[in-house]
Structure 1
Amino acid sequence: MIVVTGAAGFIGSNIVRMLNQQGRTDIIAVDDLSDGHKMFNLADLQIADYFDKDDFLEMVKSNQHFTDVEVMFHQGACSATTEWDGKYMMKNNYEYSKDLLAFCQNHRIPFIYASSASVYGGSEQFHESLEVEKPLNVYAYSKFQFDQYVRRIETPTAQIVGLRYFNVFGPFEQHKGSMASVAFHFNNQILDKGVCNLFEGDEEYGHGEQLRDFVYVEDVAKVNLWFWKNQAVSGIYNCGTGKARSFNDVANAVISYHGKGEINYIPFPEHLKGAYQNYTQADLGNLRKAGHTEEFTSLESAVAAYLAKLNA
């Protein structure tokens, strides 16, 4: 069996889809379907069983061992960077992850989990080192603290891999609403009014020139599966393209796909000031040293592939 938590979510459902494409259907899907719309991400996929995340946690805590679990892809989390309920965030993201990790260590199961590039926060360096990790919100803090917890495990019984996702975009993110990628929102804006709305700049960045490492979700799923196939490798690794691109670049790629549209710049929101990353770019040095050599899809190619599916 393969366990995927957050299986009805954005990255989790893409991992399940890729596993199906490789002929694997013996998958235990774990999620919270309080928002029933997420079921559409799993509706055309093959799984062996589904468990609510709270029920699954109770099974784990009672030390119920699922037969022959090969790997756990732990993608489930509250990923809203605008959520400031720290008690909820730490219980849902940090404590839950610790319980699953303990289960996997007890049963020698490889554990590959979703960390986040948000742990770098206010930093302008993006390599996997404590001195450059500066979370700016409680979501980032929950991911940061779990990474520190993992780092303190001196003699793991099985593979532990944390993947620091940068700005992931692609199919099956529509349920994320305001937290969906800018490519998703730009596509909708072009279809609605023919205009992409981007934030104005400041004294450091021009209008729409804030830079992010935008990575296609299919590449992210491939990285997860690569680590599973290379179980001698453990650690915390960046998962991005290694190339920073501007929001203008994303908007222009969307406009190019549709063959119409223009860019409009809007004032930077007050509630995001001081809690917003203007620049991210994954340092892939450690990922490459670990043996992962596959190139990531270019922004333009990824946007075109995504929109072709989104607008089909």
Structure 2
Amino acid sequence: MIIVTGGAGFIGSNIVKELNNKGRNDILIVDDLTDGRKIRNIEMLDFADYIDYEDFDTAVEQNTFDCGPIEVVFHEGACADTMNYDGRFMMKNNYEGSKNLFHYCQERRTPFIYASSASTYGHGTKGFREDPECEQALNPYAYSKLLFDRYVAKYRNSLESQCVGLRYFNVFGPNETHKDKMASLVRQMYYKLMETGEITLFKGIDGYGDGEQTRDFIYVKDVVNVNFYFWEHPEISGVFNCGTGHAHTFNEFMKAVISFAGKGEIRYIDFPEVLKGKYQSYTQADTTKLLGAGYDKGFTPLEQAVHEYCALLRDNEGYVK
């Protein structure tokens, strides 16, 4: 059995889809379907069973969960809303549940590959490498991820089985419709462009020109490839950046959407007060450690990835086929 927590979510459902492509359907999806829109992410997928995350978390915590032998756990489930400042909820959901599942996997010598976040680098003024000197949490979500990375690090010399944390940079691609304001700009701006003929980006801040803030944008297919690489190499453990190692401006990102549509322009709007001091104007993964671990599958060129995703937005409402 393969367990995918957050399996009805954005990255999790893409992992399940690729498992199906590889002929695997012995999959247990763990998720919260309070937001019923996520059903669309999994309705066409083939998996053995589904369990609500609260029931799963309780059973894991009480050590009563049993689904037979587990080949690997892809732990994607979390509250990923960086604007949610309920620290108590965030720590209970993202930190405590992850700790319990980590120990559950260690006791059973089950490989455990989990989602961390590039938000653990804060403003990024000290770089984006897997080093405590670079770490800074600007919100409860980032802190929940950072604290779990630090918790797991305490066990790095006594692990019973593989444990890999992947610090996702700015992931975009199909099956993110339910994320609303947390969805990628491709998702948000494609439909705006189709309706109004324009895309809106923030004016410059922190010394950056209009729309010139940068991100390490990574296609969700590449994120799945990184997850599977470590699954295929159970001898490797640690925390690794999951980004392309190349930063692109928001202007470049959105011009790829415009080039797909064959029309449109960018209009710049005032930077919102609520985001000042809480916004990453620049991210770029240091991929030295990832590549040093042998990852050699490469990354999809930005324009190619954007065009592929835009085609799904046009033809299939943004859901993977």
Category of TM-score, reference length = shorter chain: over 0.9
Taking structure 1 as the reference length, what is the TM-score of the superposition?
Answer: 0.99
Between the aligned partners of 2:39 and 2:100, the Cα distance in structure 1 is 25
Write the deviation string for residues 150-185 of structure 1: whole angstroms up to 9, x where unpaired: 110131100000000000000000110000001111
Distance 1:15 1:58 in 2: 24
1:255 partnered with 2:258: yes
Question: SS of the counterpart of 1:162?
Answer: strand
What letter corresponds to residue 100 of structure 2 in structure 1? Answer: D
Structure 2 matches for 1:1-312, cutoff 5 A?
Answer: 1-63=1-63, 64-124=65-125, 125-153=127-155, 154-202=157-205, 204-312=207-315
* Matched-pair contact (CA < 8 Å) for 2:9–2:38: yes
- TM-fit CA distance, 1:293: 1.3
Distance 1:254 1:25, change over 3 A: same
2:28 is paired with a residue of what secondary structure?
strand
Aligned-residue offset at 1:123: 2.0
For 2:24 and 2:87, locate their aligned partners in 1 and report how far apart those are by CA, in whole Å.
37
Aligned residues of 2:31 and 2:77 also touching (Cα < 8 A):
yes
State the 1:193 CA deviation.
0.6
Q: Which runs of 5+ in 2 are unaligned?
A: 316-321
Structure 1 runs of 4+ aligned residues shifted over 3 Å read: none
Aligned length: 312
Question: How far has the Cα of 1:66 moved from its partner?
Answer: 2.1
Provide the C-alpha distance between the structure 1 equivalents of 2:12 and 2:51, rounded to a whole number of angstroms. 14
The 1:41/1:203 distance shift into structure 2, 3 A limit, reads closer
Paired residue type of 1:106: E
Q: Which amino acid aligns with 1:132?
A: C
**Structure 2 counterpart of 1:46, one-letter code:** D
Q: Secondary structure at the match of 2:46?
A: coil
Question: Over aligned residue pairs, what C-alpha RMSD do you find?
Answer: 0.8
Q: Is the CA contact 2:206–2:281 (under 8 Å) kept in the aligned structure 1? A: no
Q: Distance in 2 between matches of 1:71 and 1:310?
A: 32
Specify whether residues 203 and 80 from structure 1 end up closer, same or farther in structure 2 by C-alpha distance, changes over 3 A only: closer
TM-score of the aligned structures, taking structure 2 as reference length = 0.96
Offset from partner CA, 1:24-58 (integer Å, 9 cap, x none): 00000000000011000000000100000000112
- 1:202 Cα deviation (Å)? 2.5
Q: How far is the alpha carbon of 1:203 from its aligned partner?
A: 5.2
